[in-house]
Amino acid sequence: MILERLEALPVGSFHYKLLVVTGLGWMFDSMDTGLISFVLPMLTKEWGLTPEQAGWIGSIGLIGMALGAVLAGTIADRLGRKRVFAATVILYSVSTGLCALAWSYESLLFFRFLVGFGLGGELPVAATLMSEYAPAQIRGRFIVLLESFWGLGWLVAACISYLVIPHFGWKIAFVIGTLPALYVFLIRMHMPESVRYLISKDRIDEAKDIILDLECKLNVRSRDFDEELSPLEKGTEAQAAPTFSTLWTAQYRMRTIMLWLAWFGIVYSYYGIFMWLPSIVYSQGFEIVKTFEYVLAMTLAQLPGYFAAAWLVDRIGRKYTLSIFLLMSGVFSYFFGNATTPTMLLMFGAAMSFFNLGAWGVIYTYTPEQYPTAIRALGSGWAAGFGRIGGMLAPMLVGVMLVHGIGMNMIFAMFASVFVLISAVVMALGVESKNKTLEEIDEAMIAPAHNS
């Protein structure tokens, strides 16, 4: 009865406010990630860092993100989505500010690890919370729009880097990065705990109070709750405590394999391409890559990619949209690597950015839908955490390839191959989940195990 009324709520101010509140967290995450990529060249010059040391500043954050995604997801299934979301925002905000006070290379590495831990923990928890509130018919669209705030964060980072840092130095970037700590007050005021989480923890009265409050805010006629829970809610309440081994039981094993491979491939290709993009392209004689206009064009292309994915994901489905966007990311990665003029570079680069970031939006939609409430944040966190391993490996591999004289065309052919491979994995192993409530998805997963 509680979940039926949650799904029946009309899409209104609450859903859009939740989208903005969680989206701002996403934007701040992206802003921090973007700022470090812009700050790194200045920091390298001022501190006299070797290329290996500079690389570790980027990699240590990814290590933190991997651990943060896994641990925060696990904790969120035990202590709640809202509490963990707020804690991770505080962690990366304070740690970013401490980076401005770093007194040595080693202290900066430590603070960047903490920043990464907070960033990695916040993303899957935010996506889980949003997916548990958005009604089935618009859930996919809302999660992709949530991911689109990542593009806005990169725009903010680019503007800070080109308009503020040259006048005030690199430390100002980290000082600005402390501002999200103030945003936690918005979280506490405008973000309720997940109703599905509360039911899974037998906190039924709190869940009912949230539903009554939302019905009042959305001008829905309220009525008293029946004493008995519906069969779906009893099933949610009866879920076992989350454990890692649950992800590998018969009903979830193929989903876990599909998600881990997809996450690994998309993170591997994204960080391998975009962390080295300026250096690789500039080394090929394309000086345009050093201009603000080039960065702006590549970043702006992400936004229509998100919007296109948001439109498609509730029409043709998550599985097919994700597969198509991954495949096209591979196609345009290949053409980008073989560009011979600045015009081709910009055109194929924008197309690559369009499909690559659109795919990111879909995978954040798709992942939480593959697991039931009791292990949703756990499963999402482990998938994202495993994916971060790809983000650690790819930049190092590209560096090795460059040292051995391997050109831009071969490097991007490798990334194109990875995109095509994971597109095929999603198509072969993925299960469609559009226009289904999370409980209907849960039942579909559990039924085969009962019938076997």
**E-assigned strands of 242-383?**
none
Summarised one tens digit per residue, pLDDT across range 430-442 is 888 776 666 666 6
Per-residue pLDDT band for 228 (boundaries 50, 70, 90) equals low
pLDDT at 447 over 60: no
Tell me the whole-structure pTM to 2 decimals: 0.78
In this predicted structure, the answer to whether residue 59 has a pLDDT above a threshold of 80 is no
Instruction: Write out the E strands in 116-267.
Output: none
Tens digits of residue pLDDT in 108-166: 999 999 998 988 888 888 888 888 888 878 888 888 888 888 888 888 888 887 788 88
pLDDT above 90 for 320: yes
Torsion sign, CA atoms 246, 451, 365, 268: positive
The pLDDT tens digits for 267-319 are 999 888 877 666 666 666 666 556 666 767 777 888 899 899 989 988 898 89
Split at pLDDT 50, 70, 90, the class of 416 is: very high
Instruction: For residue 446, name the pLDDT band (cuts at 50, 70, 90).
Output: low
Tokens of 444: 């579909």
How large a percentage of the chain has pLDDT more than 70? 86
User: How many C-beta atoms surround the C-beta of residue 389 within 10 A?
Assistant: 17
Q: Which band of pLDDT confidence, cut at 50, 70 and 90, is reported for residue 355?
A: very high
Structure tokens at 406: 């391997």
Task: Give the pLDDT score at 281.
Answer: 66
Residue 222 confidence (pLDDT):
66
pLDDT of residue 238: 45
Cβ neighbour number for residue 107 with a 10 Å cutoff: 13
Phi-psi label, residue 169: left if phi above 0, alpha if psi -120 to 50, beta otherwise: left
Q: What is the pLDDT of residue 85?
A: 83
Closest CA to 350 of 286, 303, 394: 303
- pLDDT number for residue 258: 95
Lowest mean pLDDT among 158-162, 206-210, 423-427: 158-162
Q: 332-342, pLDDT tens digit by residue?
A: 999 988 888 88
Mean pLDDT comparison of 61-70, 215-224, 431-440, highest-scoring range: 61-70
CA distances from 451 to 250, 446, 447 (A): 12, 9, 6
d(CA 206, CA 210): 6
- pLDDT, residue 329, reads 96
pLDDT at 299 (0 to 100): 75
Compute the mean pLDDT over every residue in the chain, rounded to the nearest whole number.
Answer: 82
User: Does residue 97 register a pLDDT over 50?
Assistant: yes
pLDDT of residue 286: 67
Residue 284 is predicted with a pLDDT of 62
Nearest to 328 by CA among 303, 298, 350, 297: 350
